[in-house]
Structure 1
């Protein structure tokens, strides 16, 4: 492995890789606020992505408390594109500054899960996907996003690389593609196609199996995220 310890020829010294040096410094730092000290500018931008996701969820909760105020629902939807902006900028800043922390990739995945997994599911609940079957599919959608991000963290080092060292493709659709569902819901809200007026109505109304057929968009999105055979070229 690239980050393994290599012995120098001719003596008993060992050469420690830069990643191992970072890990030793990270685990041996016991100063106050040592975690904050280890973060770089790119990491703080990643946290802004997570902040957008949290604010979207809070706005969804506020809408559920007062469903006559659609501005809160618009806010819930509106925060997610800003999350995408910060998700794009953190990597750009890390490359420009040539600095990244050990936690950068983990922070990025966790922030993406909040902004592009949990937040869209909360918005979906707000617009009317509230039956037990609807909720089960939304849970499946979020767990697919979680699994997809975990797989990416494990396999990214082994994916084929181009000349610049970047992965040539994604396995499964990247989780930010769920913004297409958010924009779709924004259109429904604009048309006032929410709650009892969701597109394609409801099946099995009044039974335990009641659900909205349009919720299958979230099911398909989840399936696409965890697909291994679906390769999305990386731009």
Structure 2
């Protein structure tokens, strides 16, 4: 009998299947807190889309509030991990993925929802998202080699931490609240139903900072450069931020 035929007649191994919900069983308390951060990011994305569909600022403000809630969970999960003295590679990767959802994707989608929708705006928003992704990947790849204190805690961040994008979200929320974006939903007006079409809501005078023409037919909103600045600071290796 040939060797190939012998391989075909081998009996299956007796290895047992993993227990049901084995991944969930392996989660530490800190991992569930981290998932809370991811939930906030997902809700922010969905509320932003709901706001665009309904032209209702209530959903937009719900989307804004999800981001500081995500910051709270991101702050808490590290404290819980140190309190429980439980950390794992799974928790580290989970934390980065949740951060990317809440502080990378969600702020970019909120910028789009507020009117940064021109082609050059989309390029800058994409750059911002890619910077956040690269920053988190670099942190995971280098955290083991970074200097730590006597408690094993990393001393500093290389580049600004991705939760600092909360500043951008705060600026957008301020703009919507004071009528610098989304003027069709200004509370001063009492009309029933949608206050105006999207074509009116996102005209240059209804988007904070207006717009400039780069080439004929290709415009850009100057306010979107805050995303470019934030993304560039995140990937900087020369900028070192002490870790609290």
**TM-score calculated relative to the size of structure 2:** 0.82
Tell me the residue number matched to 1:233.
242
Tell me the residue number matched to 2:170.
183
**Count of residues in correspondence between the two structures:** 207
Cα deviation code 1:18-65 (max 9, x no counterpart)? xxxxxxxxxx97221111111011001100100000000000000111
SS state at 2:154 partner: coil
Q: Give the superposition deviation at 1:163.
A: 2.2
Q: Give the superposition deviation at 1:113.
A: 0.2
Q: How does 1:36-55 map to 2 (within 5 A)?
A: 36-55=24-43
**Pair 1:161 & 2:170 matched:** no
Distance of 1:162 and 1:213 partners within structure 2? 42
Distance of 1:54 and 1:208 partners within structure 2? 34
**Pair 1:62 & 2:50 matched:** yes
* 8 Å contact kept, 1:39–1:101: no
Distance of 1:93 and 1:112 partners within structure 2? 17
Distance of 1:207 and 1:75 partners within structure 2? 37
* 8 Å contact kept, 1:147–1:226: yes
Q: How does 1:36-115 map to 2 (within 5 A)?
A: 36-67=24-55, 69-115=56-102
Higher-Rg structure is 2
- Runs of 4+ more than 4 Å apart: none
Tell me the residue number matched to 2:107.
120
List gaps (5 residues or longer) in structure 1: 1-27
Distance of 1:168 and 1:41 partners within structure 2? 24
Cα deviation code 1:66-87 (max 9, x no counterpart)? 22x1101101101110000000
Distance of 2:154 and 2:45 partners within structure 1? 32
Q: How does 1:139-150 map to 2 (within 5 A)?
A: 139-150=126-137
